[in-house]
Amino acid sequence: MNGSIYLWDTLTGKRIIKYKSSYFFRACAFSPDGKKILATTDVNTDTRNSLLMLLDANSAELLMTIQGHPRDIVSCAFSPNGKKFLSTSLDSTLKLWDSETGQCINTFEDHIEAVWDCAFSPDGDKILSSSSDHTLKLWDVNSGHCLITFSGHSSPVFSCRFNSDGTRIISGSSDKTLKLWDAQTGQCLMTMANLPDNETASWSETEPKLLWASPNAWRWIGLADGCRRLPIELLDDPATK
């Protein structure tokens, strides 16, 4: 973490934009239209707050700075229509923000330890979060109520994602498992165990497949379609996200 955000051309591999700050950045996300970048920071010793920064993706112009959480903000996500975004923090909360005004719409406080990841459902009506308290939670965007608590992991849950139609959820934990959940009932449909310190999982946007990765020394990556595992490959470098 060197206080910089880089934007790269995926075809040429060349760096297009660099944004430099005195803050250490933790996470970033594109808006759905690709025109903005949301970035999160660690706590600054001067302000004693972490920040959310909204940048223009073409010029790296700083559009908005929001005083976010009293502890480090570790993940963020835009809603499908780009009108809202989420932030999660080591302070055990997640917050919902208006992307035009920067106003905090709601604070979700049902987790009891750090909240590591978040995601909107494809229709934007629900929010998913994962935490060091070993649970995932499903929230109603409008009311802020916790609809379902997903219990089953025995260690912190570092990643969570919906599939493309919002009916399934995948979670990755430091208990070395991936779990597949029914998003409506909260039932665990499948556990993929004995993975090497798995922490990160994500669905394919075009196919019913998921990807997981581990940053530990074994550097494993693999695929599954929700029903069976596909071959696992060994990477040359650590995988993070």
pLDDT at 104: 97
pLDDT at 228: 46
Q: Residue-wise pLDDT tens for the chain (241 aa)?
A: 568 888 888 888 888 888 888 788 889 999 999 999 999 988 876 667 889 999 999 998 999 999 889 999 999 999 999 999 999 999 999 999 999 999 999 999 999 999 999 999 999 999 999 999 999 999 999 999 999 999 999 999 999 999 888 999 989 888 888 888 999 999 999 888 776 665 666 766 655 566 666 655 344 445 555 444 444 444 455 444 4
pLDDT at 64: 94
pLDDT at 221: 46
pLDDT at 235: 46
Angle, CA 198 vertex, CA 196 and CA 199 arms, to 5°: 155
Q: What is the rounded CA–CA span in Å between residue 236 and residue 215?
A: 11
pLDDT digits (tens, 9 = 90+) for 126-171: 999 999 999 999 999 999 999 999 999 999 999 999 988 899 998 9
Beta strands of 68-183 (E only): which ranges? 73-78, 84-89, 94-98, 104-108, 115-120, 126-131, 135-140, 146-151, 157-162, 168-173, 178-182
pLDDT at 194: 72
Please name each of the domains of the chain with its CATH number. 4-168 (2.130.10.10)
pLDDT at 218: 42
| Structural Rg of the chain based on CA atoms | 17
Q: What is the rounded CA–CA span in Å between residue 9 and residue 232?
A: 29
Global confidence as pTM: 0.84
How many helices (DSSP H) and strands (DSSP E) are in the chain? 0, 22
